[in-house]
Chains A and B, each alone.
Chain A
Amino acid sequence: MAYRNLAKRKLRFGLTAAGIAVGVALVFSLLSITATAEQAAIQQFTRLVGYDIAVFNGSLRQGRLQTQRQQISWGGAIPQSPIAEYVVEAISSLQGVYAVSPVIAVRGIANGTVVTVQGLVPQTYVEVVGGINIVEGEMFSCGNCSEVVVGRSLALELNATVGGRLNLSIGSNTSEVIIRGVFETGIRIQEMAVYAPLGLIQRLTGMNGYVTQILVKCRNPRVAEAVANAIKSVFPSLSTISMAATLQRVEEAINAMTVFFLSIGAVALTAGGFGVMNTMFMAVVERTREVGILKSIGATDRFVFTLFMTESILIGLTGSLTGLAVGVGFSRLIPAVFTGGVRFSGVRNPQTSISPRTTELVITPEVVLISVAIGIAIATIAGLLPAYRAARMKPVEAVRYV
């Protein structure tokens, strides 16, 4: 009966349902955007860094620290104030520390191309960042020899192959090195890099006994803050950046975005709710006589209430499902936006040119359920008052109404 009443006034039903649909589509799309953004951010982060804490020389000014953060993300490309090598030992003896790896990150030139040069100790570096993805050749194993591994993007650009030679310059010093392997991270900017033995880079930069960063992996990411504080208390001049804290900031930003987007959706849904209420009040008034007859022949208040509530819920259901469909369609456009923002190198074989790796659209069952549930809930709430009014109508007055 409820269904037929709606079917009888298709246009009005459709428009009212559309009001709900807009809200649901909006809520769904916005929630999907934030979920996708969150995943994209976390993915990029975990791909970029494997360590928990990066230690720098704290004589850097606050302004520089800002750029520092940038540098970690991009692998650290600018020479930084040196840290004495004995600090590495001191940090590794702190409680909660799993592994420590000293790094010198500087800008250099390889066969005429500007690259990031990382001097590192393979054994500890692998422990701290969780491994290097060598796709061709192998990792150098010496501490001081003239051997390097290069990123895939760089190898492509330089047309370099395993076993080939490279002129690596840092400042005014140049050394000829042998390419032992090619690594891949999936992120182009990280792959425009040369990893070399720490000793070699110390020699080329003239920083014997010094490093620019110390990367720390903790036994448990949750103790990262405590370890960072311990480092600062032992070496007050050093500054630390903990990844957990950074990730937390990212999540806070995304949560703020979610709340903001949800409030936009709430406004749309409220409008849709008033649409339902308006339609249902109209229906109740129009069908006053019908209500009167129903009650006069013995229908209970509850029956009448349920009748009108069912109509509201049907509007909500139709609107929500339509909104969901529209939302899903619309959300397909989202990954393109995120992919456009960051260039990934997803090169699988050297013959093809660089193709962007797309961010997957995130549609979680929660988001689907939440948006549909909100749509139905709004319509249900909006239907309460009209249905109550219909249920409470006095039959005498209702049958008098024509």
Chain B
Amino acid sequence: MSSELIVAVKDVYKTYRYGKNYVRALKGVTLEVVRGDIVCLVGPSGSGKTTLLNIIGGIDSPDSGSVIVDRISVSKLRGRELSDYRLKKVGYVFQFYNLIPVLTVAENIELPLTLANVDKKTREERVKILLEAVGLTHLASRTPDSLSGGEQQRVAIARALANNPAIVLMDEPSANIDVENTIKIMKLVEKLNREIGQTFIIATHDTLVVKSCFKIYRIRDGVIIGRYTGDDIAKALSSEA
């Protein structure tokens, strides 16, 4: 596997303010992801995982520091460029309620392609392939509210992959689904990683999810407190417990 750097987050700070209170969500985070990796961000609630994913995904901006994804300096993007970055470079799978309720499964997956002005024929072919990849061809014309949490999550993954993004971000993918579905989802992640070399960055505190990761970053109070690969992962997790 190549070791091309696809994500480089350097010294990122982010402070939220509400009224007179400040929350320092990220306090100098530096992190690197190599193309083809499955990287996990592990840490307790409120440690800054979602904030970091949002900043990488271009839906939030850091107060200082730099974020480079696929050679694009994300923190410098504005307006249409930023929309374009979200559309083409990033696939985002949220914790829940990922899908547009009035669109069918197939239409939800097609949406990023439509936004990217892909022609109808290519869109249809692509949707077909994606539905097969996540094993939901039989649900193509259903609406999201008639799907289980795990199925919805798989639709969201298919949608995230639509425009062949450089990275797929997943925020707590197992939070709202049972063990069986979590295993299914992670099998899918591993398969996509293996077959198309898709890079994933996953925020989680679920050991079942962590099992699939090549690398984990431990984060606490907005600071990276550890970086583990291979056998260290198990050790790190047991020390956590």
Contact = CB atoms under 8 A, between A and B. Distances in A.
Interface of A: 1, 4-5, 8, 289-290, 293-301, 303, 395-396, 399, 402
Given A298-B115, A396-B60, A293 B84 contact: no
A297 B86 contact: yes
Interface of B: 54, 57, 59-60, 79-80, 83-88, 92, 94, 96-103, 111-112, 115-116, 159-160, 163
B115 A297 contact: yes
Contacts of B159: 297
Contacts of A301: 79, 83
B112 A297 contact: yes
A296 B59 contact: yes
Contact of B100 (A1, A303, A402): A1
9 contacts: A294-B100, A296-B59, A296-B86, A297-B115, A297-B160, A298-B85, A299-B115, A301-B83, A395-B59
A382 B54 CA distance: 33
Given A1-B103, A298-B86, 19 more contacts: A4-B102, A4-B103, A290-B100, A293-B97, A293-B100, A295-B83, A296-B86, A296-B94, A297-B92, A297-B111, A298-B84, A298-B112, A298-B116, A300-B80, A301-B79, A301-B83, A395-B60, A396-B59, A396-B60
Contacts of B60: 395-396
B88 A298 contact: yes
A289 B59 contact: no
A396 B54 contact: yes
B97 A297 contact: no
A399 B103 contact: no
B204 to A, nearest CB: 17
A8 B115 contact: no
Among the interface residues B54, B102, B115, which one has the most CB atoms of the partner chain A within 10 A? B102
Contacts of A295: 59, 83, 86
Nearest to A292: B59
B94 A399 contact: yes
A396 B56 CA distance: 12
Contacts of A303: 115
What 9 A-B pairs have minimum CB-CB distances, sorted nearest first? Answer: A298-B87, A4-B102, A395-B59, A298-B86, A396-B60, A300-B83, A296-B59, A296-B92, A5-B102
Contacts of B101: 8, 290
Among the interface residues A297, A395, A396, which one has the most CB atoms of the partner chain B within 10 A? A297
B103 A293 contact: no
A372 B143 CA distance: 35
Contacts of B80: 300
Contacts of A299: 83, 87, 115
A280 to B, nearest CB: 16
